[in-house]
Amino acid sequence: MSLKLESPNNSNTSNQKEKHKPKPKRKPTTTMAPKTLNFITGNKNKLTEVKAILGSIVDLQSQALDLIEIQGTIEEISLDKCRRAAEAIKGPVLVEDTCLCFNALNELPGPYIKWFLQSLGHDGLNAMLAGFPDKSAQAVCTFAYSEGPGHEPIIFQGRTDGKIVPARGPANFGWDPIFEYESQTYAEMDKVAKNKISHRFRALEKLKAWLEESS
């Protein structure tokens, strides 16, 4: 799938139609840090985590939107979701996506991990790697920020290397029990320690630095 740069307004536009249209002007890239930011999430834990890091530099509001997610690369999916959110909110938005990438599967399930976790559970995800000697994986967090409708989003991505192991630790948060960082799974780790190395923390640090520089 090719990277689409049209605005969310034109998401139904066909290539065929585009042939007959004058070439659209390149849209302005988002460059301004906002004072208020709508974080699109229905997850209170994520909101708390993001507020803890960004709360001192931006007024973080949360909104739950039921946005479609397209198929594509991690970046294509985040950019598309951010454009749709900006269009729906009519203002500055922040969206977040979490992927679990198996290196033996060339980064898959990646953005499709939620479907695989839901269908297969922790044991099934381990079994998918039985035929591959390489059990290494990356936890990937991607934030995308847009100034508003028509502004190209900017991406801030954090990656944490680990490996897929049989589940250990409390099973109350997604795939945390099967992602091992050094000697502990995410689920086994102390929350403070986890938040210093997590994919989400690394992405948030980049976003924070950008907000500070651009404000």
Tokens 């949360």 identify what position?
62
- Structure-token pair, residue 202: 């690394």
Q: Report the site for a copy of itself in 129-188 (rule: CB under 8 A).
A: 129-132
Q: Are 57 and 215 in contact (CB under 8 A)?
A: yes
Give the nearer residue to a copy of itself in terms of CB position, either 116 or 175.
116
Q: Are 29 and 154 in contact (CB under 8 A)?
A: yes
Q: 10 Å Cβ neighbour count for 71? A: 10
C-alpha–C-alpha distance, residues 29 and 33, integer Å: 12
What's the min distance (Å) between Cβ of 69 and a copy of itself?
A: 5
3 three-class SS = coil
Verify binding: residue 112, a copy of itself, rule CB under 8 A. Answer: yes
What's the min distance (Å) between Cβ of 121 and a copy of itself?
A: 10
Is 23 marked as binding a ligand? no
Give the nearer residue to a copy of itself in terms of CB position, either 119 or 172.
119
Verify binding: residue 127, a copy of itself, rule CB under 8 A. Answer: yes
Give the nearer residue to a copy of itself in terms of CB position, either 19 or 191.
19
Is 42 marked as binding a ligand? yes
Verify binding: residue 214, a copy of itself, rule CB under 8 A. Answer: no
Q: CB under 8 Å to 204, separation ≥6 — which residues? A: 49, 50, 53, 54, 141, 143, 156, 158
Q: Are 131 and 123 in contact (CB under 8 A)?
A: no
Single out the residue of 22, 68, 182, 213 in contact with a copy of itself (rule: CB under 8 A): 68
CA geometry: angle at 44 spanning 89 and 176, to 5°? 120
As annotated, the binding site includes 41-46, 69, 81, 97-98, 173-176, 194, 199-200
Residues that bind a copy of itself (CB under 8 A): 1-2, 4, 8-9, 11-17, 63-71, 80, 84, 87-89, 105-109, 111-112, 115-116, 119-120, 124, 126-132
